[in-house]
Structure 1
Amino acid sequence: MSNRIGVGRLVGVFGIKGWLKVKSNTEPTENIISYKPWFLKTAHGLKEIEVDDYAFRPQGLIVHIKGCDDRDKAEAYGKASIEVDIDQLPNLDGGDYYWHQLIGLKVFTEFGGNKVLLGEVKDLMETGANDVLIVAACEGSIDDRERLVPYLPGEFVGVIDLAVGEMLVDWDPEF
């Protein structure tokens, strides 16, 4: 597992003095600024950069990268992903998990008295009301279907065991 995690993305240039627009995946959005250093994941690999200024505008967050003082240099960064060292993330209270901790877990359900493998968490999506697990078929799963399981601990999501790499859900395999 990588020791870095994606926290956002560069989405375009802003003005002519090297500023870049940022789409933050942190919550709240402004938390992305507190992580240092940033690593930009480009087609050429990871590049460590230093944000030397930033501003929150009505259209979103913009940043200035040290040494990037014109639009052409800024455009060269393209739409790179922003990664930070994973150990910078704050510890969560018991029972709370980061999405990256859930991705890859094997998802089981107990149905008809048997423990059945539905698949593994491929991704999560935010729907507004609650997050949703995207459970994809994997080796040993009961079929080749992809399932969307609401991430509602205590209702559909039961035990999560990160050490074992498993999650138990209350989900009918026919759904």
Structure 2
Amino acid sequence: MTAQDRICIGAIQGAFGVKGEVRIKSFCADPAAIGDYGLLTNEDATMSFDLRIVGPIKNGFSARIKGVQYKDQADALNGTTLWIARDALPNLPDDEYYHSDLIGLDVFDTGGEKIGRVISVHDHGAGDILEISTPKTKSNVALLPFTKAAVPTIDLATKRIIADPPEGVF
């Protein structure tokens, strides 16, 4: 299974208590759904995690991982990202995308000129923002609101985004 066949759905943020529970940050649209996908792996798929959500805590969930019984074992997993096979995730409607689908897409303006490439997708609560690597700004990075007005076309087959950015973005 290649990295493109998998999606990061969360991260372990260290121990929660002294009996082996871990703190989990979920990247799922429904944060509690991270416990519904069965066996998860780390980024390079060398470790697997049988995760059971115990309950909500500030900024995430407490969880048990099969085989993790002590605080030091839980602490050793701090920073580990949690991945799932892409085909285990639900299909999305036509106008919704997994963030991993957008990263790496070339961005063109409505006139067909390439303006950059998506390097990250951020969600700060008020809506997603595309971080675009571009030579058109002093910092070589631009932040584009991920709205229908600013991003009218996404073509995953050709790996292109057509953008109509607000004034001053590029």
Q: TM-score, normalised by structure 2?
A: 0.87
Please say if 1:169 is aligned against 2:163: yes
Contact 2:142 2:169 in 1 (8 A): no
Shift of 1:67: 1.8
Name the amino acid aligned to 1:147.
Answer: A
Q: Which has the higher strand share?
A: 1
Contact 2:23 2:63 in 1 (8 A): yes
Q: Deviations over 1:76-134 (max 9, x none)?
A: 22321111111111001112111111111110002xxx421110111111132221111
Unaligned runs of 5+ in 1: none
Shift of 1:34: 0.7
Runs of 4+ in structure 1 over 6 Å off: none
How many residues align? The count is 165
Please say if 1:120 is aligned against 2:122: no
Please say if 1:56 is aligned against 2:55: yes
Q: TM-score, normalised by structure 1?
A: 0.84
Distance 2:91 2:112 in 1: 31
- In structure 2, the CA distance between the partners of 1:105 and 1:77, relative to structure 1 (3 Å rule), is same
Q: Deviations over 1:47-96 (max 9, x none)?
A: 01212x42113434111111221222222223211111111110011121
Please say if 1:130 is aligned against 2:127: yes
Secondary structure of 1:157's partner? Answer: coil
Secondary structure of 1:32's partner? Answer: helix
Distance 1:23 1:169 in 2: 31
- Of 28-37 and 142-151, deviating more is 142-151
Contact 1:116 1:142 in 2 (8 A): no
- In structure 2, the CA distance between the partners of 1:74 and 1:129, relative to structure 1 (3 Å rule), is closer
